[in-house]
Amino acid sequence: MTAFDWKSAIGEWTQKRIEMLKDERKAYLLPEVIESQSLGCPGATEEQIETVEARLGTALPPSYREFLKVTNGIRSLDGYGIRFYSTEEIDWFCVKNQDWIDIWTEGIKETPSVPDEKYFIYGEEYAGCYFRNEYMQTALEISSECDGYIYQPSNDRGEWRMGSLGLREQNFRSK
Q: Which domain holds residue 16?
A: 1-87
Task: Mark which of 59, 87, 115 sits at the end of a domain.
Answer: 87
Tally of helices (H runs) and strands (E runs) in the chain: 7, 4
pLDDT in tens, 116-144: 777 766 666 655 566 677 777 888 888 88
Residue 128 is predicted with a pLDDT of 53
Q: Are residues 11 and 72 in the same domain?
A: yes
Question: Can you list the residues of the chain whose pLDDT is less than 50?
Answer: 165-175
Q: Which of 64, 87, 110 is the last residue of a domain?
A: 87
- pLDDT value for 169: 37
Q: Are 73 and 149 contained in the same domain?
A: no
103 in the same domain as 130:
yes
Same domain, yes or no, for 47 and 108?
no
- Chain segment 152-172, per-residue pLDDT in tens: 666 667 777 666 544 333 434
* Res 173: pLDDT: 39
Report d(CA 56, CA 154) in Å as an integer: 18
111 and 168 fall within a common domain: yes
Beta carbons within 8 Å of 7's beta carbon, 6+ residues apart: 40, 70, 71
Predicted confidence at residue 4, as pLDDT, reads 81
Q: Which residue among 32, 58, 87 closes a domain?
A: 87
pLDDT attached to residue 26: 73
Task: Determine contact, residues 80/52, Cβ cutoff 8 Å.
Answer: no
Look at the chain and report how many structural domains it folds into.
Answer: 2
In the prediction, which pLDDT does 172 show?
42
